[in-house]
Amino acid sequence: MSNPLLLRGSRAAAALIGRRRAGGTDGLPGVRPAVQRRFIIDTSYSTHFMDFKGSSIPSSMKKLVVTKLSQDFREAVTVRTVPVPTPGDAELLVRNRFVGINASDINYSAGRYDPSVKPPFGAGFEGIGEVVGLGLSASSRYTVGDTVAYFGSGGAFAEYTVIPAKEGVPVPCVKPEFLTLLVSGATAYIALKRLGDLANGETVLVTAAAGGTGQFAVQFAKRAGCHVIGTCSSDEKAGFLKSIGCDRPINYSTEDLAKTLRKEYPKGVDVVYESVGGSVLELAVNSLANKGRLIVIGFISGYQTASGIAPFKGGTLPVKLLQKSASMRGFFLPHFIGDYKEALSSMMQMFAKGELVCEVDCGDMAEEGRFVGLESIFRAVDYMYAGRNLGKVVVEVAPPTADKSKL
Ligand SMILES: NC(=O)c1ccc[n+]([C@@H]2O[C@H](COP(=O)([O-])OP(=O)(O)OC[C@H]3O[C@@H](n4cnc5c(N)ncnc54)[C@H](OP(=O)(O)O)[C@@H]3O)[C@@H](O)[C@H]2O)c1
C-alpha cells in the first residue's frame, strides 16, 4: 500500500499546506536577536501599503520552524527568532491569538505532505487572530483590527503570520471555538456529506470520536438521523460523547470493542468515519454491514512510526468488500476546497444558533497546565498523542491586545 500522505505534485495539497513565504523562514540569516519596537512601517507605497495605525509591532518574533524532517515533533521543530514578515499587496499580517493542533502536524514535520519541501520551513496549519497590517489590494476587504481565522499557510505556529487575504475567514471575534471549524469541523462536514451517503436510521461508527474532528462527525451523523457509535479511551470522554448526542459511546480501555460491536450490532454498521488505522481499521472493515461505506479519514496509530502507517492486513480486503458490496473511500480535505465555503458558513450558523458544540481543549487539565505561549505547542502535541485531549487541542499564543484603540 502506498503512503497516501506522499502527495508529490498535488497542487491542492501544496496550496493548503506546502507553501513557504517570503519573509518567513527565508529571512533566518538576518535575525536580529533583540526585540525592537517599530511603530509604523511604510515600505514603498509603490508596491504595497501597510497601515499599522500606531500599533506597536515588534521587528522580530518567535516562530516554530521545522529544521529537520522527523515525525518526532520535538526533534523536528525548533523555536527561532525571525523578523516579523511583511505582507505583500494581497496579503494580511495576522497577530495570532490561538493556533490549532492537528494530528498531521507530525506528518508535516516528517515531510510526508510534500517531499519536495526541504527544511527549514514553518510548522502549523491554522490560526485565529487580529489583522495588524495589510497590503493595498487586501485593504478592499479587510482593515487593521479585523478578526480573522485561516488555515493552510504552513507557518501558523508563530506570533505573526502572513496569509493571502483570499484565504482569510472573517470571524465576529477571536473565539477559539471558530478555530475548531476550519479543519476538524470542515473535514467531518464535507466527508460525511460527500462520501457518507447517510440515510435516516443508519448506523454510523466514529473512531477517535471525542477528538477534534470526531466530535463533529458524531454531531453531523446525529443531525442526519443516524444511530451513532463513538470510540474513546476514558469515561470522561464517553460522558462528553453522550452529551453531544452519541447513542453508544464505547470506552475501549474498559470494553472490548470487537466483542461489543459483534454483540450489539450483529448486522454491522452502515458507515464508518475512521481516523485510527491499523487494527482498528481492520475491525471497522470487518464490522461493515452490507453496502457499508468506510471513510478513511486518517491513521493516527501509525503517524509516530518511521513509515507513518500502522500495519494493516489487507490481503483479503477485496473479498470482504465484494461479499458485502461495501466500499472504502479516502478523504483529504484539500481535495474538497470547492465545498469549503458552504461547509464553513453552515457550521458558523449552527454554532451561532447554539446547535453545534465546538469543544476546545486548551490543556487546562494537563499536568503542566494550560497551553499558553508558542513553546507550549510541544506539550500540546504530546498531550494529543497521549490521547488526553477532549475536543480540539488549541494553544493560546498571545493574550488579547491590551489597548484595542491602538490598532
Ligand atoms: N483527511 C483529512 O483531511 C483530515 C483532516 C483532519 C484530521 N484528519 C485525521 O483525523 C484524525 C484525528 O485528528 P485530530 O487532529 O482531530 O486529532 P484528535 O482526534 O483531536 O486527537 C487524536 C485522538 O486520536 C485518538 N487515538 C486513537 N489511537 C491513537 C494513537 N495510537 N495515538 C494517538 N491518538 C490516538 C485519541 O483519542 P482516544 O484516546 O479517545 O482514542 C486522541 O485523542 C487523524 O487521523 C487525522 O489525521 C484527517
The verdict on the CB of residue 280 being under 6 Å from ligand 1 is no
**CA atoms in the 13 A half-sphere facing the CB of 265:** 25
Over the chain (407 residues), what is each successive 10-residue block's mean pLDDT?
Answer: 28 30 28 37 41 66 97 98 94 97 97 91 97 93 95 90 95 96 98 98 98 99 98 98 98 98 98 98 98 98 96 95 98 97 97 98 96 98 98 95 49
CA distance 12 to 30: 32
The verdict on the CB of residue 331 being under 6 Å from ligand 1 is yes
The verdict on the CB of residue 230 being under 6 Å from ligand 1 is no
pLDDT in tens, 98-133: 999 999 999 999 999 888 889 999 999 999 999 999
Atom of ligand 1 nearest to the CA of 388: 43
Per CATH, the number for 16-174+359-396 is 3.90.180.10
Q: Would you give the distance in Å from CA 382 to the centre of its chain?
A: 15
Atom of ligand 1 nearest to the CA of 334: 3
Cell of 51: 497601515
Domains 16-174+359-396 and 182-335 share a fold: no
Domain boundaries, the chain: 16-174+359-396, 182-335
> Alpha-carbon torsion 232, 233, 235, 236, what sign?
negative
Per CATH, the number for 182-335 is 3.40.50.720
Strands 392-396, 360-361: parallel, antiparallel or unpaired by DSSP?
A: parallel
CA distance 325 to 288: 10
pLDDT in tens, 263-293: 999 999 999 999 999 999 999 999 999 999 9
Secondary structure of 45-74 in HEC code, one letter for each residue: CCCCCCCCCCCCEECEEEEEEECCCCCCHH
**Predicted TM-score (pTM) of this structure:** 0.88
The verdict on the CB of residue 378 being under 6 Å from ligand 1 is no
The verdict on the CB of residue 102 being under 6 Å from ligand 1 is yes
The verdict on the CB of residue 190 being under 6 Å from ligand 1 is no
pLDDT number for residue 207: 99
Residue having the nearest C-alpha atom to atom 40 of ligand 1: 232
Residue having the nearest C-alpha atom to atom 43 of ligand 1: 387
